Amino acid sequence: MKTAFDTTWYVEQEKRIKAASDESARLRREMRQRFDPGHLYVVEFDSGVLKVGKSASPDRRLEQHAKAGFVQRTWVSAHHLGCSVTEREVLSYCAKHGRLHGGREYFTGLNFHSVVIRSTLVVDKARCGEDVTA
């Protein structure tokens, strides 16, 4: 006579493994958001449009922009933590002093060097642990 195999323990283990995996993924996302390493970049297209962005792989990202349009000048920041915060601060500066052009990261009416100087200051503050929004 066969007895039924009790799978309760196995099912509970699978639930625990799934919960641990979900928690691990949540913590990884939180750490990425908290430390958020990367680079800021500024691209000036020959049309005069400036693009401000962030990337963990700026060389690859700039290559993509070069394929999409005529890039006149570029600037890439030093690697730093809190990249999303620094990007938001520079985008806010650009929105205040220029005009949006076809997306939230594209602007006209801005001087490339002014945006690079502002970006450099913001990144330097972030690298020193200072509040970049102050």
Q: pLDDT tens for residues 4-13?
A: 778 888 899 9
Same domain, 51 and 95: yes
**53 exposure class (CB count in 10 Å sphere: 0-12, 13-18, 19+):** buried
What does pTM read for this prediction? 0.74
pLDDT tens digits for range 12-45: 999 999 999 999 999 888 877 678 899 999 999 9
User: Are 94 and 30 part of one and the same domain?
Assistant: no
Residue from 115, 93, 90, 101 nearest 49 by CA: 101
133 assigned to some structural domain: no
Domain total of the chain: 2
Q: Are residues 27 and 86 in the same domain?
A: no
Residue closest to 92 by CA, chosen among 129, 118, 112? 118
- Residue range(s) defining the domain that contains residue 82: 39-127
72 neighbors 45 (Cβ within 8 angstroms): yes
Report the first-to-last Cα separation within the chain, whole angstroms: 77
